[in-house]
Amino acid sequence: MARIDLQGLRHSYLPNPAKDADYALKQVDLVWDDGGAYALLGPSGCGKTTLLNIISGLLAPSEGSILFDGVEVKDKSPEERQIAQVFQFPVVYDTMTVYDNLAFPLRNRGVPENQVDARVREIAEMTDLTAMLKNKAAGLTADGKQKISLGRGLVREDVNVIMFDEPLTVIDPHLKWQLRSKLKELHQRVRITMIYVTHDQTEALTFADKVVVMHEGWVVQQGTPVELFERPRHTFVGHFIGSPGMNLMPCDLTDGGALVGGKRIDIAQAVTEPKAGARLELGVRPEFVTFVESGSDGALPVDVVGVRDTGRNKIVETDFSGHRVRALVPEGMPVPEGRTGIRFDPSHTQIYADSWIVE
């Protein structure tokens, strides 16, 4: 059990990195509390697996430090760090039985056989593997094998953190949900820090208490799913999380509000003056765009250009003085046609300067 601090982590796979672009991890400062469920979310190649391997000790960072409960572990091996990892593709010891697989980490550490037995049975019970303990691990299905991987992590009582590297990649869709709930349930039971790496926002948002969003080697935001949704700190978070993503359009600032295409848009929170010459954008999620009578107070004139039905709601695409703005209309509500008006919810409208939020 441990609190994890990552301070000034940078990593490059090149021997002599010079510029930012040479780094797979550009700058990471994070604090992870003991017993939390965290997700590391980002597209392929954003540096999340690199970060994971640095925490587990499979990779040494070029710069920065990793503290477990305040103790530097940078030079310690994965074994000494007492971590567990579940990989993207199931890793089981094929020739061993399920029982021996689960017992393996304990036996390697010289735990007496009677304790091994008790612990293995307990973990098998937790991970629903009891019925298969005597089977050869090679014969199990992909989700069974991932349970073994997970079980090998849980079986050690002194484990500091369990990490998951896109563990559901090879699992059948109908079992994904089941395994994810199992994970969540196990986390609540054992309260070990868990870090879950994924590029799937549904997986991240349903598993984690806190989600860390990564983009091109940067941590762009750390927050609860609600924070990520309601107040994205970076335009990347805005369009990566949510379906469809945030509407973004270039804007100017005027006293207490924004100007887009000559129209004034109210913003609830006052914003500080951004750096001169910064590229300003206004962002609002489709969920916070509502249709109003055109010509009414504060209405922005738009033309409806298309409608997509997602089942639960309709995505209405509109054209607002040359910018594409999407709005969500719940099932059963009328969908306007032709020229109409929209309104942005001022408390959920944000201004971004060079992609970062202005507050």
Measured between alpha carbons, how far is 117 from 155 in angstroms, rounded to an integer?
A: 11
> What does the alpha-carbon distance between residue 218 and residue 24 come to, in Å, rounded to a whole number?
9
Q: Is 36 in the site for other proteins (CB under 8 A)?
A: no
Interacting residues with other proteins between 136 and 165 (CB under 8 A): 139, 149, 152
Applying CB under 8 A, which of residues 21, 31, 58, 335 lies at the interface with other proteins? 58
Give yes or no for residue 13 binding other proteins (CB under 8 A).
Answer: no
Rounded distance, CA 166 to CA 168, Å?
A: 6
Judged by CB under 8 A, the residue of 34, 35, 64, 87 near other proteins is 87
Within positions 101 to 130, which residues make up the interface with other proteins, using CB under 8 A?
A: 104-105, 108-109
Nearer to other proteins, 78 or 223 (CB): 78
For residue 14, the one-letter residue type is L
Tell me if 299 contacts other proteins by CB under 8 A.
no
Nearest by Cα to 250 from 262, 239, 238: 262
Upstream peptide bond of 167 is cis (omega within 30 degrees of 0): no
76: contact with other proteins by CB under 8 A: no
Over the range 242-271, which residues count as b (16 or more CB within 10 Å of their CB) and which as e?
Answer: bebbbbbbebebeeebbebeeeebebeeeb
Nearest Cα to Cα of residue 149 among 186, 112, 174: 186
Residue 127 near residue 154 (C-beta atoms within 8 A) = yes
Applying CB under 8 A, does 310 fall inside the site for other proteins?
no
* Number of residues forming the site for other proteins (CB under 8 A): 23
Single out the segment in contact with other proteins by CB under 8 A; choices: 80-88, 117-125, 239-247, 299-307. Answer: 80-88
Q: 333 — phi, psi (to 5°)? A: -85, 150
Q: Quick check: helix, strand or coil at residue 291?
A: strand
Pick from 79, 125, 185, 303 the residue near other proteins by CB under 8 A. 79
Q: At its nearest, how many Å lie between other proteins and the CB of residue 205?
A: 26
Residue-level length of the chain: 359
| Residue placing its CB nearer to other proteins in the complex, 149 or 198 | 149
Tell the smallest beta-carbon distance from residue 348 to other proteins (Å). 42
Segment contacting other proteins by CB under 8 A, of 35-43, 85-93, 181-189, 311-319: 85-93
Our finding on whether 235 is near other proteins (CB under 8 A) is no
Alpha-carbon gap, residue 234 to 251, rounded angstroms: 16
Q: Does 21 bind other proteins (CB under 8 A)?
A: no
Instruction: Pick the closer one to other proteins by CB: 88 or 294.
Output: 88
Interaction site with other proteins (CB under 8 A): 56, 58, 77-79, 83-85, 87-89, 91, 93-96, 104-105, 108-109, 139, 149, 152
